[in-house]
Structure 1
Amino acid sequence: MRPRRSLALLAVLATTLALAACGSNHAPTGQPDRTEVRTISVEGSDREYRVHIPASLSRDPALVVMMHGGFGSAKQAEDAYGWDSLADSDGFVVAYPDGEGRSWNAGDCCGRGAREDVADVAFITALVGDLQHEFAIDPSRTFATGMSNGALMSYRLACDTTLFAAIAPVAGTIVTTCDHPAPTSILEIHGLDDGSVRMDGEPGGGVATVDGMPVQDVIDLWRGVDGCGDPVITSADPVTTSISACPDGRTVELITIAGAGHQWPGSSARDGADTPSTALDATTTIWAFFEAA
């Protein structure tokens, strides 16, 4: 009888372990939460980025590419916007690429990136491909966000590639040609008093003098691309949210904040921009948007 009892106990144990595994939402990576600095060669240049890897990854992990603003850096973006702690709790990977000369080649703007026609689209494409392979990340769980010049770059990536299922620019607009973009979910967060990337599309102040599309025109463009319905607008002063539902589960959203300037709402430091609004936590809002995409 002992052999049978042993086999029965082993069967129960195996079933228990299988159920425990099914009930777990995160798989351990074998290492503590950590950020690694990596280098990748793109078109003859070595490009650097930081990647934050949580100790436990979701069973269906996501990748968020967070692009710093002009004069910012990967380290500054990691420190300022609160993505690491959210990644640790929800089990996704965050990449923080470094722009050449602290800028991105978003098209007609900005700084060294645009002036020298730096291969930023190729850089981000290579970075995403490597991380998708390493962490078994599905393209439908691959997202991009950015602040200011990084927001402009996220729009260029959405216009020129099919890398991302959704993007969430903060204080951004389009400063490149965008004639035939692929359908993509879009969330734009913008301060109504932003003097650097103006809502009306007039040239902004500061060194870059950003001269792009009016923000509402950007949203209308993506509503057309995605085949969206009429927007539903809600307001809880000072925040106004406009959401358009689109086929295949996509959405195009615009969140504006009255009285807010050129800033990342809810961030911990100014980092050369205007004082962050406390009316909204942009990071958690964006992650909820990505999760629903």
Structure 2
Amino acid sequence: MPSYSRLKSVLKAAFRGSRESVATGLRPVTATLDRPEGRRRYLIAVPARPGPGKRALVVVLHGAFLSAEQVLGLAFPPSPLSLWLDIAEREQLVVVAPDAGKGGWNDCFASAARVARKNDVAFIEAVIDRAIAEHEVDPQRVYLIGMSRGGHMAYRLAIEIPHRLAAFSTVLANMPPPGRARMPVVALPVLVFGATADPLMPYHGGKYLYVLGFLDRVSSIEESVKVWRELAGLPDMPDASYPIEREAGGKTSVTCSMWGQAPDGLQVGLYRIERGGHVEPSRRKRYPWFITALVGAQNADIEVAEAAWEFFRHKRAGLPANR
């Protein structure tokens, strides 16, 4: 019979999920900015040791009903995107997680009237400006990643301030259908993660009846990728497409497709997660069973933050037209 301490640890793991990490002690601190809509807050993590030069900046955007603390692992349930803190210490990056605050993000679906009351693009751009001014951030190496509604916010930022970004990534977030919102006019490198069994963001587009008024009708994930691929002048067929090695016994699988051959060039990528749900893929940060029972299976074949960093690391703002 297991000891009481062993039983306690098993129950704790079942309800909290796995939080295994090799974090080196880099912890975010709270910062604020006064904006027209009021005081806004965000978390920022800066490596303690001096870097060899200017640092890259990664902006991490949380999902609906969540927070900056959740996406950086300080609140339940800790997101796999919190592994950006490990990457930041290892690679000498600055990481910021803006907080949407009351009402959530005014993302790519938001009306002009709503944006006038709380302009999240202007807030996040001000966070970027402060990081550049105060933390030796290279303005040519600003990267952006958003999960779910944070991904919708990432699309809006990529459409409205593409000149501030070197590349961006969306995790389980589809673009609006044509005519529903502004479409991009400036090409950017983008990495998209989509799951075919996502119960909230339909991989094939549209809208599930049971989400009622909470979510809007969306384009498919592959149509979302196509918008950016065509804008970049990339061909219909990917330059590379390959399956990711599967975890033994895993219920999901992943195929990576990449348009554009140069890691420092104008690439568009798609990680298609077969049978995956509305949950960030991760080997090391596992959500508890009762969350995946609601939102679907969590893939363990890829580490979402590491895959995004591998895509980001060589890219700089102001890329020339596709080579």
Match of 1:256? Answer: 272
What residue in structure 2 maps to residue 195 of structure 1? 199
SS at match of 2:102: helix
1:118 Cα offset (Å): 2.5
> In 2, Cα distance between the equivalents of 1:244 and 1:269?
31
Once the two structures are TM-superposed, the CA of residue 67 in structure 1 deviates from its matched residue by: 0.4
Alpha-carbon distance, 1:76 to partner = 0.4
- Match status 1:241 vs 2:259: no
Cα gap change, 1:105 to 1:58, in 2 (>3 Å): farther
- Could you tell me how far 1:98 is from its partner in structure 2? 0.5
Deviation string 1:198-242 (CA, Å, 9 cap, x unpaired) is 111111454623422211111111011112233132224611111
Moved over 6 A (4+): none
Check conservation: 1:52, 1:93, Cα contact below 8 A: yes
Preserved contact between residue 281 and residue 300 of structure 2 (Cα < 8 Å): yes
Q: Is the aligned partner of 1:278 residue 2:300? A: yes
Q: Which has the higher helix share?
A: 1
Number of the residue aligned with 2:172:
171
Q: How far is the alpha carbon of 1:101 from its aligned partner?
A: 2.2
In structure 2, relative to structure 1, the CA distance for the partners of 1:71 and 1:239 (3 Å cut) is same
Structure 1: state its 5+ residue gaps: 1-31
Question: Matched residues in 2 for 1:83 and 1:101: separation?
Answer: 25
TM-score by length of 2: 0.74
Residue 153 of structure 1: how far off its partner (Å): 0.6
Task: Give the C-alpha shift of residue 191 in structure 1.
Answer: 1.1
Kindly indicate whether the alpha-carbon contact (under 8 Å) linking 2:197 and 2:296 is maintained by their aligned counterparts in 1: no
Unaligned runs of at least 5 residues, structure 2:
1-24, 74-78, 247-252, 316-323
Larger Rg: 1
CA contact (8 A) 1:107 1:114 kept: no
Alpha-carbon separation, structure 1, partners of 2:192 and 2:67: 21
Measure the CA separation in 2 of the matches of 1:94 and 1:240. 28
Change (3 A) 1:291 1:43: same
On the 8 A contact 2:158/2:184 being kept in 1, the answer is no
Instruction: Identify the residue that residue 39 of structure 1 maps to in structure 2.
Output: 32
Would the alpha carbon gap of residues 116 and 140 (structure 1) be closer, same or farther in structure 2, given more than 3 Å must change?
Answer: closer
Amino acid at match of 2:314: A
> Which residues of 2 match residues 112-261 of structure 1 at below 5 A?
118-162=118-162, 163-175=164-176, 177-204=181-208, 205-206=210-211, 208-229=214-235, 230-231=237-238, 232-236=240-244, 238-245=253-260, 249-261=265-277
Task: Mark the CA change 1:117 to 1:254 in structure 2 (over 3 Å): closer, same or farther.
Answer: farther
Tell me the C-alpha RMSD between the 2 structures.
2.5
Q: Measure the CA separation in 2 of the matches of 1:275 and 1:180.
A: 32
SS at match of 2:308: helix
Whether the 8 Å contact between 1:104 and 1:120 is mirrored in structure 2 is: yes
- 1:42 touches 1:126 (CA, 8 Å); kept in 2? no
* Residue identity in the other structure for 2:170: P
Cα 1:210–1:264 shift into 2, 3 Å: farther
Q: Is the 8 A contact 2:243 2:255 kept in 1?
A: yes
**Paired residue for 1:287?**
309
Contact 2:88 2:95 in 1 (8 A): yes
The aligned residue for residue 29 of structure 1 is none
- Alignment CA distance shift 1:98-1:213 (3 Å): same
2:287 alignment partner AA: A
CA positional deviation for 1:292: 2.8
Higher relative contact order (CA 8 A, sep 6+): 2
TM-score, length-normalised on structure 1? 0.81
Letter in 2 for 1:269: Y
1:251 partner letter: Q
Distance (whole Å) between structure 2 residues aligned to residue 262 and residue 215 of structure 1: 13
* Deviations, residues 6-59 of structure 1 (Å, cap 9, x unaligned): xxxxxxxxxxxxxxxxxxxxxxxxxx8442201101224211000011113352
